[in-house]
Structure 1
Amino acid sequence: MKRVIFPGMSRRVLSAALLVAAIAPVVADEPRALYQAQCASCHGEQRLGGIGPALLPGNLSRLTPQAAEAVIRDGRPASQMPAFGDQLDEADITSLAEWIYRPPEVEPRWGRDEILASHEVIHPDGSLPDVPRFDADPLNLFIVVETGDHHASLLDGDTFERLHRFETRYALHGGPKFTPDGRHVFFGSRDGWITKYDIYNMEVVAEVRAGINMRNIAVSGDGRYVMAANYLPHSLVLFDAHNLDLMKVYPVVSEEGESSRVSAVYAAPPRGSFIAALKDLEEVWEIPWPLPAEPVVSTGHMATPLEQHRGHDTPNFQVRRIAVPDYLDDFFFDLEYDHVIGASRGSESDGQGGMVINLDSGEKVADLPLEGMPHLGSGITWEHEGRRVMATPHLTRAAVSIIDMTDWSVIKTLETDGPGFFMRSHANSPFVWADVFFGPNRDRVHVIDKASLEIVETLIPEPGKTAAHVEFDRHGDKLLLSLWEEDGAVIVYDGDTLEEEQRIPMSKPSGKYNVWNKTRYEEGTSH
């Protein structure tokens, strides 16, 4: 389809127009008529999004119905969302808010045609200067996601000066991912948008919408490919990273035809593959990207399933199915990516444990007795008394579990002041930082000594305000901690003395991502 851009038409208005053109109208009832009259021009005829975000139950999980009513009535500061309190009475506002939380009568479609129609290249790959427009260490930069008003800030990791602040898509999710050289970063939004951003030039390079409800994205170890994981539709989507050109859509179905949501996709650079966690199938998927040709050497041993799969006659980007004994939708990997440590947030065990799967053989090698829904995606590792250990917080239990990765035994359980969400450290730091994200003590953060495996300090940066998510600078000397509030801040701490040094005001800063840590897979940082 030929695209005609009229004078004054923005990228997001064009995207909204393409969405509306792709969707058939529906029969109206009273709240639907309200929606069509007041909301559809920005949020799409079928609530799939446009200038504004998608308004479907799965995309609104971070917003309560009461908060939705407030947004409709009062608008949203620093956004294009206007206030409707003068146009709609309270009954209409309540009716409209309730309606957007209803599942659609017909499941929305988002396939190859819709993805291609959403694609826009603003600055083709190679068209922008190769020299940074700032005087700072490009490998010691931080990207800070501010979810309060849907912006991101670029910070100098040496001076903590804010170099740039720019608008993002609504509800970024899953953490931004960098190219290996640290120049480009990819953002994924809850409603399916992937944005490629040139850090050197502080410009958006390209955008595409991969799905309707997207969980996260991953970038291949060589920086050439991007893969998106979707809840809706049930798909994985592969893109060329240069301009986000679509390469392949994978419907996620079992060999028996059963469909599944995708919980997440991860890059496994030592394996040269993407690893996907599936919500509704007892399978893990591995999808290899092209690797440099290597000579075939006969070793006389029986080839593992992985070696058979990655033989020279096997096409790239083909799915290798790994059957597992339970649903695994939350992952952690060992350093070599030989094993995946997985747990389910919805299995019959109700978050009571995890298991370790050897990715070469596909066999389970251990069970992990981790009660209280471990948040393995935030797990970290370090060396302790000559062995590698990993630690994970728990989403429904006030504890941190520490596991010996040589025999997969739980060697210690630390009782905390509440369930936690994130843990962070650095190879050059003697400490692990663990927040207490859930419950009444969410204003606290624990500092754990790596040697003694004990909590040695509990900080309360500001009473009553959520303290969460630490990220170190590239050297492990300084760290950033969020006050996770609308009128929040990023707090700079000395990594050794634990003294606060600086506060940078921000709008609900959530994740903070250091270029060096993320591109070098630094110990103590989730990947």
Structure 2
Amino acid sequence: MRLIPFALLMLCGAVQAAPEAVSLEQAGVLYEQHCQSCHGANRLGGAGPALLPESLSRIKPDEARAVIHNGRPASQMAAFGDRLNPAQIDALVSYLYQPAATPPTWSDADIRASHRILTDVDALPSTPQHSADPLNLFVVVEAGNHHVRVLDGDHFEELANFQSHFALHGGPKFSPDGRFVYFASRDGWISVYDLHNLTMIAEVRAGLNTRNLAVSNDGRWVLVGNYLPGNLVLLDARDLSLVKHIPTLGADGTQSRVSAVYTAPPRDSFVVALKDVKEAWEISYAGEPDFQPRRIEAADFLDDFSFTPDYRYLLATSRKALGGQVIDLDTGKAVTDIPLPGMPHLGSGIYWKRGGNWVFATPNVSKGLISVLDLQSWKLIKEIPTEGPGFFMRSHLNSPYAWTDVFFGPNNDAVHLIDKQTLEVAHTLRPMPGKNAAHVEFTNDGRYALLSVWDTDGALIVYDAKTLKEIKRIPMNKPSGKYNVGNKIEYAEGTSH
């Protein structure tokens, strides 16, 4: 947002003295005066993030009002409470949550025009230029101030700290050798960072509202799933240059948003869930691929999914469904329904061996329970009650516990540790009473567990994973997630993918 002329400030002051209702048309004028220079003529973003309803879906209107009034600390977002009266701010917020008069578009030409090479990767050393174990690095997304920190997972010391694009969304993904990490922001920016040399390599805006990305296990391709425009965008993993976009049209021609995209390493393919048509897609990248989707008919609209350990079966659910479904990726057929009440968050589900058999456990974003499934019979083994709905689960091959938060509700300062064999809550931790505790990740050897306290005055807390003794507390501003390189590239048991 830019400063406005003195005459306009005087005019705003006069309006503030006698606030009246402000129309959406007038709010549009306010946007042009105060916001357009940073956020773009069509609200598509610029120096500031996009301000479209799709981009603001996770920000409540009251929070948007507070940001306009008070600004954002440590950012270019100034406070406008001294220039806009409450009625003007209310109207501006309503305007931002309205769909654009002309539906925004983002073409191949727009993608290519946004592409920036920041560092010549060929000029960089191919080996780590630091002394830390490259497989035991942590990439920490610090959402409160839109930064990323890189930590040494042996000593928990910071190696790098850099600004990210606004609102990184979904877990970052890694190249198969662990050298590069790929980020996606909610408003479509894709970035690649070199963990060996601690430098940013390239970035591109692949869409206007992005769901997530996946990296092929051969390290050649990045596939981006978008809500707006509803499509897939294929990038060259080396420099993020555009390869092609893939329209996400159902078999009947219906345009769809993308719910999620992941890579299935043993299958040499990407698997895509579509939000607005009852289809899942498998896109092979083996050999010299043509990236034509193989359509798999689903029993419902898919919102979220996970894989079995062998990547043969897809466990999928929809926020509209009463339960979930199992899809055989080999045959392309739905196998059975699975009894999952509420809104299970399958993307954060994890699996482990119990009595010699694989089980799968998923948190639930609307009910205080963990559902545990037998992956042979597809039967519900147990529903484990928790102190509230949760969002993330994590474990490790060397840990006896599955750690789960209760992210939603009044008890969100609690984290449960579930015994993976008895399926009972063995411990409940409250790292910082009254502050939201969420998202655990383990070191590569499973010796330590790192937990986020999701608060402006939050922290990253390091626990001994066996004794549960606190080892270190690193102050941070809403550390929304942290990701261990080795666990991610090994698709380790207990880590969601």
TM-score range, shorter chain: over 0.9
> Map of 1:51-450 to 2, 5 A cutoff?
51-291=47-287, 315-345=289-319, 347=320, 349=321, 352-450=322-420
Residue 13 of structure 1: aligned partner: none
For the residue of structure 2 that corresponds to 1:71, the secondary structure is helix
Judge conservation of contact 2:312–2:330 (CA < 8 Å) in 1.
yes
**Counterparts of 1:427 and 1:181 in 2: how far apart (Å)?**
21
Unaligned runs of 5+ in 1: 1-27, 293-314
Amino acid corresponding to residue 202 of structure 1 in structure 2: L
CA–CA distance in 1 between the matches of 2:156 and 2:287?
Answer: 38
**1:516 Cα deviation after fit:** 0.3
Equivalent residue number for residue 482 of structure 1: 452
Displacement of 1:372? 1.1
Question: In 1, distance between residues paired with 2:71 and 2:222?
Answer: 34
Q: Aligned partner of 2:48: which letter?
A: G
Are the counterparts in 1 of residues 173 and 181 from structure 2 also a CA contact under 8 Å?
A: yes
Deviation at 1:188, TM superposition (A): 0.1
Conserved? CA contact 1:124–1:243, under 8 Å: no
Q: What code does the residue aligned with 2:292 have? A: Q
Counterpart of 1:16 in structure 2 is none
- Contact 1:31 / 1:95 at 8 angstroms: preserved in 2? yes
Please give the alpha-carbon distance, in whole angstroms, between the structure 2 residues aligned to 1:512 and 1:250: 31
Aligned to 2:423: 453
Stretch deviating more after TM superposition (30-39 or 121-130)? 121-130
TM-score, length-scaled by structure 1: 0.88
Give the Cα separation in 2 of the matches to 1:370 and 1:235. Answer: 29
User: Quick one: distance in 1 between partners of 2:255 and 2:266?
Assistant: 29
Q: CA deviation at 1:291?
A: 3.0
TM, length-normalised to structure 2: 0.94
Q: Distance in 1 between matches of 2:117 and 2:471?
A: 41
Pairwise CA distance, 1:125: 3.2
Measured after TM superposition, the shift of residue 255 of structure 1 is 2.6
- Cα separation, 1, equivalents of 2:249 and 2:123: 39
CA distance, structure 1, for counterparts of residue 148 and residue 399 of structure 2: 27
> Is contact 1:324–1:362 with CA below 8 Å preserved after alignment?
no
Structure 2, unpaired ranges of 5+? 1-23
SS at match of 1:518: helix
Q: Any idea what SS the aligned residue of 2:135 has?
A: coil
The answer as to whether partners of 1:272 and 1:291 remain within 8 angstroms in 2 is: no
Q: Deviations over 1:356-390 (max 9, x none)?
A: 00001111112111111111000001100010101
C-alpha displacement at 1:86, in angstroms?
2.5
Matches of 2:251 and 2:466, distance apart in 1: 53
d(CA) in 2 for partners of 1:417, 1:85 = 39
Deviation for aligned residue 1:116: 0.8
Aligned to 2:439: 469
Please give the alpha-carbon distance, in whole angstroms, between the structure 2 residues aligned to 1:395 and 1:73.
Answer: 31
Give identity over the alignment, percent.
Answer: 57
What is the CA distance between 1:290 and its match in structure 2?
A: 2.9
Please give the root-mean-square deviation of Cα atoms over the aligned residues, in Å: 1.2
Output the CA distance in 1 between the equivalents of 2:398 and 2:364.
Answer: 25
Q: How many corresponding residue pairs?
A: 474
- Give how far 1:316 is off: 2.8
Which secondary structure state, in structure 2, belongs to the residue aligned with residue 126 of structure 1? Answer: helix
- For residues 425 and 234 of structure 1, the distance between their equivalents in structure 2, rounded to whole angstroms, comes to 34
CA distance in 2 between partners of 1:523 and 1:291 (Å): 28
Question: Is contact 2:299–2:325 with CA below 8 Å preserved after alignment?
Answer: no
Deviates more, 1:408-417 or 1:83-92: 83-92
